[in-house]
A and B are shown apart, each in its own frame.
Chain A
Amino acid sequence: MERSEIQNRVKSVIASVLEIDESTIGDDTNFIFDLGADSMQSLELVAAFEEEFDVEMDEDKALEVQTVSDAVGFIGTYLD
């Protein structure tokens, strides 16, 4: 899958889970610091990424991912 496609789908998932406008999400946007995601929402994001990309991620490592670009890279490792 192309990186740009992963990126678009990641942003779409984030916008849906955090109920925000997708256009406000940049590549370096931090889920917690910039979007105000709390610990529950972080778990929801991991679950939503797994569903969106049909992968099963290491939860501890997934929770360390905090930005869009990091998420794209991390999900990419499961799709290779």
Chain B
Amino acid sequence: MGVQEGLQQIFHPESIAVVGTNRKKGTVPHDIFANLLQDNFQGVLYPVSPGEHAISGVKAYKYIVDIEDPVDLAVIVFPSSVMHLAMKQLGEKGVKSAIIISAGFREVGEKGKEREEQIKEIAAEHDIHFIGPNCLGVINTGPAVHMNASFARKMPEEGNIAFLSQSGALCTAVLDYARSKHIGFSKFISFGNKADINEIDLLRYLKDDPKTDVILIYLEEISDGRALMDVAQEIISETGKPILTIKAGRTEEGATAAASHTGSLAGSDEVCDAALRQAGIIRCTTIEEMFNKAIALAYQPIPSKNRVAIITNAGGPGVLAADAAVREDLELASFNDETTEIFKKHLPSTANIKNPVDVIGDARADRYRVAVSTTMKDDNVDGTLVILTPQSMTDIEAIAEAVVEVGSHESKPLYASFMGEADVATGIDILQRHKIPHYILPESMCSAFTSAYQFHNIRQRDTNTIPKFADADTKQVSNLLEEAQTECLTHLPEMYATPVLKAYGFPTLPGGIATSAEDAVKMAQEVGYPVVMKIMSKDIVHKIDIGGIVLNVISEDEVHRAYQYILKNAHKSSPDAEIDGIYVQKMVTGGEEVILGIKRDPSFGPVVMFGLGGTYVEVFHDVSFRVAPFGPGTADAMIHETTAYNLLSGIRGKSPRDVSALSDALQRLAQLAVDFPMIQELDINPFIVLDDGEGGFAADARIMLSKQE
């Protein structure tokens, strides 16, 4: 049985055996069985409890093998010490699906890890697929199944949101939070140690689950980042279902990053953040933020544009909402003439009929109804945000009902913020029960609308077109890198790195290595002044730090002096360094210096970095990352999201730079990263971007190779 078939049986069993249950109320083994029974599981239940003849009035079995009929799913609550015995009996009985609730495995140390490995082996031997161990359980709210195979206190309402969590404890908090807001779930899954079924399997299952429209996932570790990105992109492009995540925990790699530029600039969490965004996954920082966005996506249509109408009965909150909307990149819609005419006719003369529409403090449901329904019909409006403050004449429930009623007839998103708590509670309840997304603050409402609009853009983007540069000479690079590895070189300075880049189609600057001042003069004359002179040594990583670079050398005399100066500095700072010579290179004046790089992430694989270059890179930390490979859309996005883009696009009379040449370089770098896994890190610092149409140059580079085994 495949994993997906196993999951189908886990979510839709016709019979469940709770293995290891008991009669002691308030314990996990008891409550799991009690929850299934009390929450009205639609199939057959079998308690397996040695030493008991019945549990909650249901005949109990000593062993699962004693059950005469077939069992689709086993929910196992025995202690970890006997889990292997239970699993063996599952195999004997022919049960193919299980949820292992019990803790005491990988999370408790070496002994637990051994137990986990043991049950994995038994499961593999008997073709059993299981969720857990160390989890809260699984809930399917669908009426045909109605399964609460968990020790959560109460079954949630039915809904179109699926929630997956690595943390069981968080699940109970989420269920409680959701219940108070009438947020329902299609599936609720705590997957614990994911010893067999993991988040990728679950996402793949939910992709085709007709009851699920929005997927929420809480993760503590991402074991296969690339697979997560692939399945997320598959879900979004094939089904349009949004995925929201809270990814907690920061790995140590970020803190102990390598001393090199790209390494130290790419903390693991930053890479994770970029990778999730690249995959179209909406990353949230709090449970509240996640649900604020989830209900917008789950309850209402997704806006195709960002023009909103704000309707309020109070000026202050209207202004706050307008400010928040602009901050969140929303546009305040300009109403068409028809809307304006209706407002003039039906709203009091003191009302503000421009956006935000102030229906005035004494507004009752009729005024709200007119304002909401009219803006929803206006072609210039992509969604309506309703604000209410409780005033003595405000008929809160009637207004909530009017909002619900208008919303039920329209195909544009409609959100509400009834501000306050006690007085507005009944109105909020009406909104929540009827799936009008409600927010305590207008700011959260605007943020949720923006998120929904951004998701519209995510669905539209093309992530499949990834170019393959035909002019990239793979064979030559392969030879160069293998040669370096044969010589046991792991740090390749510029004289080795530049030919690699050149072979992959990067424009580089003419130059060569001089081993005497006379050589240097000859080369400078060949490439033409001005030149840059740099120390070349595999033992010197950061040339600038030791005074190993002299810029703008313009004459024979200066070449002589620069040559002696660089050598003196190199000998002084690194007396044992093996010096290959001085690299004399044509110097480009003008242009903008940026940095491009490659690093390897343990979870996501090859990552490309872009940022503001030169010595400022570590000061401003203005960098962006993407997981390779990627196409032009992604390369453009990673340039646009940095502040450096403002410099490149031309400010204060400066000409715009050749951003398309930069985009091309990033895509080539991504291809290089994928083609040559032996490249652990690569920095092009600086890459000089010239004026629009004039291209750019890789002016300096270095490569770190993995050690040959």
Contacts and interface: CB of A to CB of B under 8 A. Distances in A.
A33 B22 contact: no
A66 B81 contact: yes
A6 to B, nearest CB: 23
Interface of B: 22, 24, 27, 29, 49-52, 62, 78-79, 81-82, 85-86
A56 to B, nearest CB: 23
Interface in A33-78: 33-39, 64, 66
A38 B82 contact: no
B79 A32 contact: yes
B85 A30 contact: yes
Contacts, number: 31
A18 to B, nearest CB: 7
Given A32-B79, A33-B78, A39-B79, A18 B51 contact: yes
A32 B78 contact: yes
A38 B26 CA distance: 13
Main secondary structure of the interface of A (DSSP, over half): loop
A33 B50 contact: yes
A30 B88 CA distance: 14
B52 A66 contact: no
The 5 closest A-B pairs by CB, nearest first: A36-B51, A36-B50, A33-B82, A33-B85, A32-B82
A39 B22 CA distance: 12
A35 B81 contact: no
Range, interface on chain A: 10 to 19
B50 A35 contact: yes
B78 A20 contact: no
Contacts of A20: 51
Given A18-B51, A20-B51, A33-B50, A38 B81 contact: no
Given A18-B51, A20-B51, A39-B79, A33 B86 contact: yes
A20 B50 CA distance: 11
B51 A35 contact: yes
A74 to B, nearest CB: 15
Contacts of B82: 30, 32-33, 66
B51 A64 contact: no
9 contacts: A30-B82, A30-B85, A32-B81, A33-B50, A33-B82, A33-B86, A34-B62, A37-B51, A64-B81
Contacts of A30: 82, 85
Contacts of B52: 36
Given A18-B51, A20-B51, A30-B85, A36 B22 contact: yes
Contacts of B85: 30, 33
A2 to B, nearest CB: 29
A21 B27 CA distance: 26
A24 B85 CA distance: 19
Interface string A5-29: 0000000000000101000000000
A13 B85 CA distance: 24
Most chain A beta carbons < 10 A, residue from B52, B62, B86: B62
Nearest to A63: B81
B78 A38 contact: no
Most chain A beta carbons < 10 A, residue from B50, B78, B82: B50
Nearest to B51: A36
A24 B49 CA distance: 15
Contacts of B86: 33
B116 to A, nearest CB: 17
Most chain B beta carbons < 10 A, residue from A30, A32, A33, A34: A33
B86 to A, nearest CB: 7
B501 to A, nearest CB: 61
A74 B52 CA distance: 28
Contacts of A38: 22, 24, 27, 29
A40 B81 CA distance: 15
A35 B528 CA distance: 90
A36 B23 CA distance: 11
Nearest to B24: A38
A64 B80 CA distance: 11
A67 to B, nearest CB: 10
A23 to B, nearest CB: 15
Contacts of A66: 81-82
A35 to B, nearest CB: 6
Nearest to B86: A33
Contacts of A32: 78-79, 81-82
Contacts of A18: 51
A36 B29 CA distance: 11
Contacts of A34: 50, 62
A29 to B, nearest CB: 10
Nearest to B62: A34
A2 B51 CA distance: 30
Nearest to A38: B22
